[in-house]
Structure 1
Amino acid sequence: MWIPVEPLRHDLPDVERFIAALDAAEFFDRAHPVILARAPGRLDLMGGIADYSGSLVLELPLAAAAIVAAQPDERAEVRVRSRVAAELGGLRDVVIPAADLAACDYAGARALFAAQPEVHWAAYVAGALVGLHVEYGVALRGMRLLLESEVPPGKGVSSSAAIEVAAMRAVCGVLGIELTGRELALLCQKVENLVVGAPCGVMDQMTAALGDEETLLALLCQPAEPSGPIVIPHSIEVWGIDSGIRHAVSGADYGSVRVGAFIGYRILADLAGLTAQLVGDVLHIQDSRWNGYLANVTPSEWEAFYRDRVPLELRGAEFLSHYGGTTDRVTIVEPDRVYAVRQPTAHPIYEHQRVRLFAALLESLADLNESAGHTHAQARQKLRVRASAAEERMLLLGELMYQSHASYSACGLGADGTDRLVELVRAAGPHQGLYGAKITGGGSGGVVAVLARSGARRAVERVAAQYQRETGHDALLIGGSSPGAMAFGTLTLAYT
């Protein structure tokens, strides 16, 4: 049986289940050790799609995670297996000659995996080898990679990033490559952008790599600067409710909103008199004012100087003829398409401010809770004042979430199901311990994040049950937290 060579550092049931199932899988050569890595999904509490515009984001690593085990293979082929892929209609086993991957740049690898829809899922795993080869010159050789994931796909909780980060960590473990968590996350983002073909920001991979259990990762996406963890106050809980509506970052809505935001930034740069230069097919803007990020435009600047000068929408051909292109390297402006511009531009400007306020309120709430531990008689009045102040902060936190949700919808990234879940949370309200809710990740369905008072699980369950009765969709409750890939480390398994 397969057993860990060293003691487990974390008590994680999914890891124990994975190891227990290895014997039946009969996938690895029992004569050689296996390297296991794990990375969690994430719940996007605040920030979401504003990540690609440089916003601060607040992300919670979930209990649900992806696990990848890797082993060198003397055969010159990369073999990837996934039980979940088979259940979703893909091939259980994908085998690619190592020489074929070694001959690929990012575009070639993307074409290779896209050629057969039933093997496309393997890009999330084997893409790690492509990224290491292209960016670090790593020689590709045979490898076996076994994937198991409990992160629900298509729900906006970063199942893809969890897989990418777990795969990259396992492959690096096999090859003896040391990457920092930030380096690993940025490389995984390149895999998703350039091999998988999904134009995501970096927050998902950073959370999967650098997250800590029961702690929010505060990440300034310029491009990926952790600004310190935020411990969730003991007086609150964060939940996710699955709307049952599938979400896809690679979908047209997400991509068009992203293009619209970069069109908006290009127009603002022109209005501000910044110098733009096209080098090859990449646009460069000399921007010491906002450093290339819409999030650095303040709401007051936007309202006073730019809002009414940015068009509501613009046809791609007209934009290209006037401005030449955008600074985004992972999307293209389609000439025949009409893009919404003003709202996708405004969203990250305001979202960055909302997230900054949210983080400050959370930290002040933690201070209030800590102070509230004194219960002697002479402090009762102070305790009442603190309790009132804590309640006010909870109400403000909830309102910021509702504002974020409304802004998603204004961008065209809402969905009937997620809107209804938010309405149900609002209707239940603070008297049932529910303070705020919002759509998460790339929007257009998926999971709704809920801010609740500690001990309000029953109220969250009632919301989910009512939604399920109304829509017929299974409203899975998502909760709990676990360490990111770097905190988990790698685990060496041997057969005895």
Structure 2
Amino acid sequence: MSIETAKPLADVVVGVKKTFADKFGAEKFSAGPQCVTAAPGRVNLIGEHTDYNDGFVLPMAIDRQTVVAASKRDDGRPVVRLYSMTMGGDAELSLEPDGAELPGWAKYARGVIDAYREEGIEVPAFDGVIDSTVPLGGGLSSSAALEVSLALAIETLAGVSLPGPQRALLCQKAEHRGAGVPCGIMDQFSSALCHKDHLMLLDCRSQEPHMAPFTDPSVSVLITNSNVKHELTGGEYAERRQQCEAAAEALGVKALRDVTPEQLAANASKLEPLPFKRARHITGENPRTEQAAAAVAASDWATVGELMYASHAAMRDDFEITVPEIDTLVEIAREIGPAGGVIGSRMTGGGFGGCTVTLVRTDKAEEVARTITERYRAATGIEPTCFTTRPAEGGRVLEG
């Protein structure tokens, strides 16, 4: 077993442009696309489900990207034609929403187009090809990467350039409307705004990102995909959000961001047991996230590790969004421990499958990944997927 390496972005771009020429080039004066854009997935080091509670998150972009190659159509038809290399399928979307049934991935595209039109931006008819190296269903924001890369393509073809936060908010709206997932702002802000070699401490109330350097070469981020499917449209995500909102209302605050763990304990009688448990995770996770950002800045890795394990325990016991396979991965990492090169580990993403994020000593990363793979396979019969990443750059226009 070896750690998977990312397909170089330049190779992804070559493939997308070739496919664009094959699919649409014969209909153009020139086979090349008018623009090529890219946006990354993200991993959240700590701060889960806090974004829609006006709290704090600490994500970074990963070196897995979604790339879009696109050109405006010149035949007068008000449609967007897209081909997904990742999914191996086509979709045709009318610029005037017509209620047509779309494949799942195209619903995100529908959401982006509609969000930009509602913002007053004239979305041109265009053809586009999409490819992605962001793992699907792993809790690494493949949907946000698609939304942001497509948004950048629309802006480029339309001759506009929105501020990054506005672009991220439109993409969040696209996820709400197109896919029906009531997500917070973390995923889209991460894909749109993160900087290379930095974590982003995002205050989800003020929507102000603060970049925190993460340049220590002796520490790497190991992502392990449990290969248990992650799907947030089944209702569990919306249910957790509703439970948090109910807890905030019972406590008389705008959001759980406004409640400390001590205040929650003192007012426990105002809540039913289940909303209390949900609130206990959120009110503990916000200070954990701020403490983790400070500890990373101070290279206090022991504290970072303790906070990651505490976060995972709260997600497992109070928020109830982990699954046995994810818990197994975290326990294996904990058993390897600092002596074996593991600093800390936790589930990352919305939950119910997906990935763990583990901070490891760089010189032990291969050995840690091998041990996790062997023990996880023995315990579950499932082959995990492991890769390391450095903090990557957010969405950008590559050509055009």
2:274 is the alignment partner of 1:356? no
Cα drift, residue 454 of structure 1: 2.3
Equivalent-residue separation in structure 1 for 2:46 and 2:11 (angstroms): 28
The one-letter code sitting in structure 2 at the alignment partner of 1:214 is D
2:64 is the alignment partner of 1:155? no
2:28 is the alignment partner of 1:121? no
1:199/1:250 contact within 8 Å kept: no
The total of aligned residue pairs comes to: 386
Which of these residues, 441, 446, 454, is aligned with residue 349 of structure 2? 441
Q: Give the 3-state SS of the residue equivalent to 1:455 in structure 2.
A: helix
2:339 is the alignment partner of 1:431? yes
Within 5 A, what are the aligned runs for 1:405-484?
405-410=312-317, 411-457=319-365, 458-481=367-390, 482-484=392-394
Cα drift, residue 48 of structure 1: 1.9
For structure 2, the 5+ residue unaligned runs are 1-7
TM-score when normalising by structure 1: 0.74
| Alignment match, 2:205 | 222
Higher CA-based Rg = 1
2:281 is the alignment partner of 1:397? no
1:235/1:453 contact within 8 Å kept: yes
| Alignment match, 1:139 | 122
2:86 is the alignment partner of 1:84? yes
Equivalent-residue separation in structure 1 for 2:40 and 2:323 (angstroms): 26
The one-letter code sitting in structure 1 at the alignment partner of 2:114 is V
Runs of 4+ more than 3 Å apart: 10-13, 19-30
For structure 1, the 5+ residue unaligned runs are 1-9, 87-91, 105-111, 270-289, 313-339, 366-392
Q: Give the 3-state SS of the residue equivalent to 1:79 in structure 2.
A: strand
CA separation of 1:26/1:429 partners in 2, compared to 1, >3 Å: closer, same or farther?
A: same
2:72 is the alignment partner of 1:97? no
List per-residue Cα deviations over 1:191-248 (Å, max 9, x = no partner): 0012221111111111101112232111111152202333243331111100111112
List per-residue Cα deviations over 1:297-318 (Å, max 9, x = no partner): 2222222x32232111xxxxxx
The one-letter code sitting in structure 2 at the alignment partner of 1:64 is R
| Alignment match, 1:346 | 280
1:48/1:440 contact within 8 Å kept: yes
| Alignment match, 1:18 | 16
Equivalent-residue separation in structure 2 for 1:205 and 1:140 (angstroms): 20
Q: Give the 3-state SS of the residue equivalent to 1:49 in structure 2.
A: coil
1:78/1:126 contact within 8 Å kept: no
2:111/2:173 contact within 8 Å kept: no
How much identity, in percent, do the aligned residues show? 28
The one-letter code sitting in structure 2 at the alignment partner of 1:212 is H
| Alignment match, 1:273 | none
CA separation of 1:126/1:309 partners in 2, compared to 1, >3 Å: closer, same or farther?
A: closer
Equivalent-residue separation in structure 1 for 2:42 and 2:234 (angstroms): 20
The one-letter code sitting in structure 1 at the alignment partner of 2:320 is G
Cα drift, residue 264 of structure 1: 0.3
Question: What CA RMSD, in Å, does the superposition of the two structures yield over aligned residues?
Answer: 2.0
CA separation of 1:214/1:473 partners in 2, compared to 1, >3 Å: closer, same or farther?
A: farther
2:123/2:158 contact within 8 Å kept: no
| Alignment match, 2:4 | none
Cα drift, residue 57 of structure 1: 0.9
1:28/1:144 contact within 8 Å kept: no
Equivalent-residue separation in structure 1 for 2:165 and 2:10 (angstroms): 24
Which of these residues, 257, 261, 264, is aligned with residue 295 of structure 1? 257
Q: Give the 3-state SS of the residue equivalent to 2:267 in structure 1.
A: helix
List per-residue Cα deviations over 1:230-286 (Å, max 9, x = no partner): 3243331111100111112222222211110010001111xxxxxxxxxxxxxxxxx
Cα drift, residue 29 of structure 1: 4.1
| Alignment match, 2:54 | 54
Equivalent-residue separation in structure 2 for 1:41 and 1:257 (angstroms): 23
CA separation of 1:171/1:141 partners in 2, compared to 1, >3 Å: closer, same or farther?
A: closer
CA separation of 1:215/1:29 partners in 2, compared to 1, >3 Å: closer, same or farther?
A: farther
| Alignment match, 2:180 | 197
Q: Give the 3-state SS of the residue equivalent to 2:213 in structure 1.
A: strand
